[in-house]
Structure 1
Amino acid sequence: MTSVKNFRRALLISSASLAIFACSDTNISSPGTTTPPVGEPTGPTTPTPPTGTSIPASATGAGTADVSHPNLTRVTVATADGGTTDIVQISGTVATDLTLETGVVYYLNETLSIGADSGAASTTATADGKEVVLTIPAGTTVVGDGSAASLIIPRGGKIMAEGTASSPIVFTSYAEFQRQNGITNVGTETTRGEWGGIMINGFAPINVCDTTGDNVADGGCTKEGEANSGVYGGDNAADNSGVLTYVRVEHGGVVLNDSNEANGIAFQGVGSGTTVNHIHIHNNLDDGVEFFGGTVSVDHLVVTGQSDDAIDWTDGWTGSVQYALVTPGTNLRDDAYGIEGDNQRPNDLLPRSAPVISNATILGNDEWVAGVRFRRGSAVKFVNSIVAGTAPFGMDIDDAATYDLIIDGTSKIESVMVDATGDALRNDDDIPADFALTNYPNVVVDTSSLLNKYFPGGQEQAVTAFDVTGEGLEAVDYIGAFSPTETVASNWAAGWTKEGTVFEEEAATCPTGTTTSSSDPVDGKTVCDIPLNITSDVRLSNGDDLIYRLTGATFIGTDGGKEAANVPSSVQATLSVDAGVTVFAQSGAEAYLVASRGSKLEAVGTAAAPVVFTAEEVLTNNIKSGETLQHTRGYWGGIMLNGKAPVNVCDTTGDTVADGGCEKTGEFASGSYGGEVSNDDSGALRYVRVEYAGVIVNDDNEANGIAAQGVGSGTEIEYVQIHNNLDDGIEFFGGTVDAKHIVVTGQSDDAIDWTDGWVGRVQYAIVEPGETLRDDAYGIEGDNQRPNDLLPRSAPQLSNLTIIGNSEWVAGARIRRGSGATVANTVITGAPFGWDIDDASTYELFDGTTPVSDFSSMLLDNTGDELRDDGDIPATFIADHFDADNNIDTISTTTLGGFSFFGNATGVVPSTAEAAVTAKDMSTVDAWFEATDYIGAVKDADDKWYLGWTIDSSRNVTSAN
């Protein structure tokens, strides 16, 4: 084969052109030759054309390409059909500027040097005033053949390789070029090391000197570079070696031994004046990219299939990488990592390596040691990144000097999610006492929930991003290489990276713990059945071809009892639901989902990819005869979360509420709830929709959209919509759980309901009912219990509610049976009455009886009075509590407009009337609340938290525009 013959030829050529490679693990990274090439470059030697396996006649051709430049030669090669064709060979040391042509494939089988080194450390372009530039236009392909084939940019030279997203510049192996054009028996698509790579030398500072007596401090340090590319390093931090943009480098990285290796691209003393972005290194036999000192920065970097480290640095590199995706191949070399960052030996050499790495997604496999390694005194700011996959460890930090920089704040590890099969931090017996990754801000060690393998899911989106604008990088509000709004079809890496290396579509396979159904696809997707009894952790992973089914009453775990320690015989499990997943209830199966005490439901979606719980009838458009989607309700049971937080009603005589001993059986045979653990954690519901649920058996056996039964404050409920439930939207049965950003639409009964001693908080809620409601329906209905003074007494705090009623309601909100309530910053409109307060024990809480009830900052615009009169209103109650002193306006007409979930409804965006009501800063009452200066759930037309992940009455996903 051609590559084999050229490899043999490479072993015989002189040391001046033999590729000598190095790795960063040695004190002198590139042994090279003792005398770098200097002086006037010479022209090429007579080229040796490729021989052996032929190429297709249609694969390429020199055509009318200009070969007048002394480093270009037209050579004739055999074609697969028995003919011949010309190609353009490029070789030698380029003495004058060279511009390649689009549409011509250039062949390289020996070292190509763009000029020669311009001299000692220098701030000028070249020592003799000459600057040699290689210009490569978009769409050009350069193929390297064998170990001698490398491209070198010496100090003072430049490469201007400016591809585009639609026409990238490709450096690949001659063998891969043959494979792409139908020639077989020349390796495979996973073959590595079929040519050398690209080496760029600059005048920027480094911290290791080849020559004794060179002074690092004044930038006088120089060093011999990769592949006999001459020296690198100097005193010009802003040195400019040209432009690399939309460039792919494939199948390179010749490795002769552990001290003789080539990277895909080696940036050697390269300065910050160099522009590098949108680079893809694929299937390199050594590292993907390595930075040997210098100050160059890279953005939008993809490294795939490499055999060793993907991103490596040493020698005092102080640049940055923002937006990087790393996915290794298999059959890796020993001691491989996604990132390996060194300073040098000794570890305190200056300038110290101190790059910024932001928005990296590092997806490892079990052949790696760890996703990331920092060592030998390298400083680093590693932020806004995701380390996941199946690497044995997340991070590996070596040497006291490296740890010291993290501890004293020189280095920064912040806003990072780590998910590894082993520990988040590898223990080499050198971890300082009390050191843990989670000690640092927004560092999360948890199971990742990446969407379609690469895009941030709910877990990742919950990590607060670090502000990198102070580091000179682009502002971001997310972690990882891709934003939550990017998709497989539309993202910064799509189109110009090598086809088949990222964003591959995988066959639909139901995840472990579920069963592939033999039934017909639903909504065009393979159906995965969820077991009725989930006795071990199950994760419902997202896939474009998967959908999940509840086939009946489904329980996560078994009841763990009311105490903090679970009942020994019980089973605890977690059902995790990834962003974008749809779970539907089988038609006619009386299906619902229960998280038993001690177990968890972790349904974490995103604004762009919510988790949806719905009904088969809706997905298959098999709703009841005569119904429309606007009136469709009650096709399945809903979601029940059972927790161990206190409740005030006991099923068992003799249980005492005061010591947390009270527990109760939930409606709809959902099991026991309640206990003594106020901060109990039943999981998370974030960006979740629950649709068309709420089966009603009788008045005492009804299913809410979500029933939070004795749920503790450790549970997260945020960005949740309950749509078209036949009973209540969300009901809190005791407990301490809080909720933010709640939307309840189309329910037939109450939207937000509580009882049994609930003492949680709600901020930002939109309520808009449908039509054909049940009797005695309200936007809010809050109870304590019978008798009305049972403890703990219901006393929630609610702020920023927009309650939009209709004539079928009794009132916008009702509290009764001795429940307390603090309600502020609320709009109630459209109902016959604003409020309905029942029972003397409820009224008395407004006059100072504990727990104190309080109303403030409201606009009440309803067809009747602000307070429904059942003949039990205390004499001065309205004057004392529905007055201007409390910023309650019961006269003005609401001016809500904008988006409405139901046709002909008012809308949710406030205007002049709402703005006239002075808001109450609830954060001064309880720090859990966010400070607001407006009433209602929505601040203004630019506040769109409720859009994009919710649905309207016609089951259209709402627009965020």
Structure 2
Amino acid sequence: MKTNLLTLLSLSLLLSISSCTIDINDGDGGTVTTPGTTAGILPEGGKLSGEITSNLTIKKGNYTLEGIVKVADGATLTIEAGATFTVSTNVSSSLVILQGGKILALGSASEPIVFTTTAKTAGGWGGITLYGRAPIKAVNGNATAVSEDGNAITYGGTDANFSSGIMKFVRVEYAGKKIGDGTSETNTFTFYAVGDGTILENLVAYKGTDDGFEWFGGTVSAKNLVSYGNFDDSFDWQDAWSGQNNSNWFAFQTVTGNFGMEIEASANVDNTAPKISNITLIRDTNTNPEVAGSTEISAIQFKRQGTGIFSNVYISGYKNLGGKNAYAVLIQDDATNTSQVNANPSKIVVSPLNYVNSDNPLVWGYAATNGGKTFTNTSTVTKVSLPTGAWATVDGVNLLSAL
């Protein structure tokens, strides 16, 4: 009799589990309900849309993403290795982790998490944006600012150690979207006031129409980044971003591209210089800036009190174009030269540096008027070394082949 009772209880529990439903807010005040699935798990082939207000797990498989998907304060979006999202380009789409929300995207080198589009056209969607609660220094030293990604969210906080989650082995393709008149845009990866409790490792930004990676203040660091074929800058920051433990950044600019790195601190003299070890910036032959005749062709540009302490930097392919000079390092204004380059100790350091297959060797360029700086070209610098695998392969092309 005991055996039969246990059997009946087990059968009842099994039936209960198999009839669970998962509710995902559809963004219009209602929900999308999918019967026959385990609660909190998006079914294979499902659509991610609307606002996620409770924990949700996405397993290995193929999915779609449509519209502005927001992970709300208190909710965690978990994405397992091998999940692939095809993003709708018929509507404005992006993935946004709000302040207090978390993403746990845990791919692997052989089974990355991929966001792509059917059309495979640059700028098809808005990319991934994280909001944290770490400190920033915006214009005039303001501790908060309003985002320029179309969401108009106030960002900036006081928790330097704040965590927005983990992203490992994630590749985002064909993102970076112009908004309205083009004065605002999203990037492939955008980090607003993200704290250093967040883990960012082995991320690929592939062929977006704005920056590959951009930081707006915050303290987070990132390792093993690949910025490939992005139209604006490969790496960009402002609002006094201050990550201290960055390493292994690789940019390959091809067809269309502006600066390899564009660096500013929103004109705040008092800022903490971020630190990056091992940087490789390569500009492919016949790469042109977004705007014909633009001067945005140098490898690293510092402006508006931007700072950085960079070591083991390899730069190749930055050639003069249309009468404009390309430099390994370009100091854009007198104020940055005076307050940052000439600070004691200097808060702009790029050394050791190997500048090859490029014009204007051995000199930092100065677009302003108050002097120049020479450097020693160190041949012992080596290119970045990154793990191989599917995480850095698109349509059979190994993105690391230039290394």
Secondary structure of the structure 2 residue equivalent to 1:148:
coil
Corresponding residue to 1:480 among 374, 383, 398: 383
Amino acid of the structure 2 residue aligned with 1:97: N
Amino acid of the structure 2 residue aligned with 1:43: N
- Counterparts in 2 of 1:501 and 1:437: CA distance versus 1, 3 Å: farther
What is the match of residue 222 of structure 2? 298
Report the Cα offset of residue 480 of structure 1: 3.2
- Counterparts in 2 of 1:429 and 1:288: CA distance versus 1, 3 Å: closer
- Taking the TM superposition and a 5 Å limit, the aligned residue runs for 1:659-670 are none
What is the match of residue 392 of structure 2? 497
Contact 1:202–1:269 under 8 Å retained in 2: yes
Report the Cα offset of residue 354 of structure 1: 1.8
What is the match of residue 302 of structure 2? 374
- Taking the TM superposition and a 5 Å limit, the aligned residue runs for 1:50-89 are 66=37, 69=40, 87-89=45-47
Corresponding residue to 1:423 among 329, 335, 360: 360
Report the Cα offset of residue 106 of structure 1: 1.9
What is the match of residue 114 of structure 1? 71
Amino acid of the structure 2 residue aligned with 1:348: N
What is the match of residue 151 of structure 2? 228
Task: Write out per-residue CA displacement over residues 857-907 of structure 1, whole angstroms, 9 at most, x where no aligned residue.
Answer: xxxxxxxxxxxxxxxxxxxxxxxxxxxxxxxxxxxxxxxxxxxxxxxxxxx
Secondary structure of the structure 2 residue equivalent to 1:159:
strand
Contact 2:136–2:240 under 8 Å retained in 1: yes
Corresponding residue to 1:326 among 251, 267, 271: 251
Name which one, 1 or 2, has greater alpha-carbon Rg.
Answer: 1
Amino acid of the structure 2 residue aligned with 1:437: T
Task: Write out per-residue CA displacement over residues 304-329 of structure 1, whole angstroms, 9 at most, x where no aligned residue.
Answer: 01111000000110014310111012
What is the match of residue 308 of structure 1? 232
Contact 2:127–2:189 under 8 Å retained in 1: yes
- Taking the TM superposition and a 5 Å limit, the aligned residue runs for 1:208-247 are 208=138, 216=142, 220-224=143-147, 226-228=149-151, 230-247=153-170
What is the match of residue 206 of structure 1? 136
- Counterparts in 2 of 1:221 and 1:357: CA distance versus 1, 3 Å: same
TM-score by length of 1: 0.35
Distance 1:291 1:496 in 2: 22
Corresponding residue to 1:193 among 123, 148, 156: 123
Secondary structure of the structure 1 residue equivalent to 2:358:
coil
Contact 1:67–1:88 under 8 Å retained in 2: no
Report the Cα offset of residue 175 of structure 1: 2.8
Contact 1:89–1:107 under 8 Å retained in 2: yes
Contact 2:392–2:400 under 8 Å retained in 1: no
Secondary structure of the structure 1 residue equivalent to 2:299:
strand
What is the match of residue 57 of structure 2? 99
Corresponding residue to 2:316 among 388, 398, 413: 388
- Counterparts in 2 of 1:244 and 1:145: CA distance versus 1, 3 Å: same
Unmatched 5+ stretches in structure 1: 1-41, 48-62, 75-85, 117-130, 177-190, 445-458, 464-478, 483-490, 506-961
Task: Write out per-residue CA displacement over residues 347-367 of structure 1, whole angstroms, 9 at most, x where no aligned residue.
Answer: 2255x2621122111001442
Task: Write out per-residue CA displacement over residues 242-264 of structure 1, whole angstroms, 9 at most, x where no aligned residue.
Answer: 00111101111112443121100
Distance 2:306 2:151 in 1: 27
Task: Write out per-residue CA displacement over residues 604-638 of structure 1, whole angstroms, 9 at most, x where no aligned residue.
Answer: xxxxxxxxxxxxxxxxxxxxxxxxxxxxxxxxxxx
What is the match of residue 19 of structure 2? none
- Taking the TM superposition and a 5 Å limit, the aligned residue runs for 1:528-927 are none
Corresponding residue to 1:348 among 263, 268, 285: 268
Distance 1:45 1:410 in 2: 46
Confirm whether residue 43 of structure 1 aligns to residue 32 of structure 2: no
Report the Cα offset of residue 407 of structure 1: 2.3
Amino acid of the structure 2 residue aligned with 1:430: A
What is the match of residue 94 of structure 2? 150
Amino acid of the structure 2 residue aligned with 1:358: S
Contact 1:372–1:395 under 8 Å retained in 2: yes
Distance 1:65 1:328 in 2: 47
- Counterparts in 2 of 1:154 and 1:238: CA distance versus 1, 3 Å: same
What is the match of residue 379 of structure 2? 460
Secondary structure of the structure 2 residue equivalent to 1:401:
helix
Secondary structure of the structure 2 residue equivalent to 1:226:
coil
Contact 1:310–1:337 under 8 Å retained in 2: yes
Tell me the matched-pair count: 352
Corresponding residue to 1:159 among 100, 103, 112: 103
Contact 1:248–1:498 under 8 Å retained in 2: no
Report the Cα offset of residue 174 of structure 1: 3.5
Report the Cα offset of residue 154 of structure 1: 0.6
Distance 1:421 1:205 in 2: 38
Contact 1:65–1:101 under 8 Å retained in 2: no
Amino acid of the structure 2 residue aligned with 1:403: N
Distance 1:317 1:223 in 2: 16
Contact 1:201–1:229 under 8 Å retained in 2: no
What is the match of residue 241 of structure 2? 317
Task: Write out per-residue CA displacement over residues 265-309 of structure 1, whole angstroms, 9 at most, x where no aligned residue.
Answer: 101100000000111110111100000000010011111011110
TM-score by length of 2: 0.80
Amino acid of the structure 2 residue aligned with 1:263: N
Distance 1:65 1:277 in 2: 35
What is the match of residue 114 of structure 2? 170
Secondary structure of the structure 1 residue equivalent to 2:337:
helix
Amino acid of the structure 1 residue aligned with 2:219: T
Amino acid of the structure 1 residue aligned with 2:302: F
Contact 2:144–2:154 under 8 Å retained in 1: no
Distance 1:371 1:420 in 2: 12
Report the Cα offset of residue 228 of structure 1: 0.6
Distance 1:232 1:415 in 2: 35
Amino acid of the structure 1 residue aligned with 2:94: S
Contact 1:201–1:231 under 8 Å retained in 2: no
Secondary structure of the structure 1 residue equivalent to 2:176:
coil
Contact 1:156–1:202 under 8 Å retained in 2: yes
Contact 1:145–1:175 under 8 Å retained in 2: no
Task: Write out per-residue CA displacement over residues 457-495 of structure 1, whole angstroms, 9 at most, x where no aligned residue.
Answer: xx732x5xxxxxxxxxxxxxxx4312xxxxxxxx52444
Distance 1:199 1:329 in 2: 24
Distance 1:242 1:151 in 2: 14
Contact 2:329–2:365 under 8 Å retained in 1: no
Contact 1:289–1:312 under 8 Å retained in 2: yes
Identical-residue share of aligned pairs (%): 28
Contact 2:164–2:195 under 8 Å retained in 1: yes
What is the match of residue 292 of structure 2? none
Amino acid of the structure 2 residue aligned with 1:88: G
Secondary structure of the structure 2 residue equivalent to 1:337:
coil
What is the match of residue 342 of structure 2? 407
Q: Which one has a larger percent strand, Structure 1 or Structure 2?
A: 2
Contact 1:340–1:374 under 8 Å retained in 2: yes
* Greater RCO structure (CA 8 Å; 6+ sep): 2
Contact 2:279–2:314 under 8 Å retained in 1: yes
Report the Cα offset of residue 66 of structure 1: 3.4
- Counterparts in 2 of 1:149 and 1:360: CA distance versus 1, 3 Å: same
What is the match of residue 370 of structure 2? 432
- Counterparts in 2 of 1:422 and 1:258: CA distance versus 1, 3 Å: farther
Report the Cα offset of residue 202 of structure 1: 0.4
Unmatched 5+ stretches in structure 2: 1-23, 290-296, 321-325
Distance 1:315 1:169 in 2: 29
Distance 2:93 2:75 in 1: 20
Question: CA RMSD, aligned part only?
Answer: 2.8
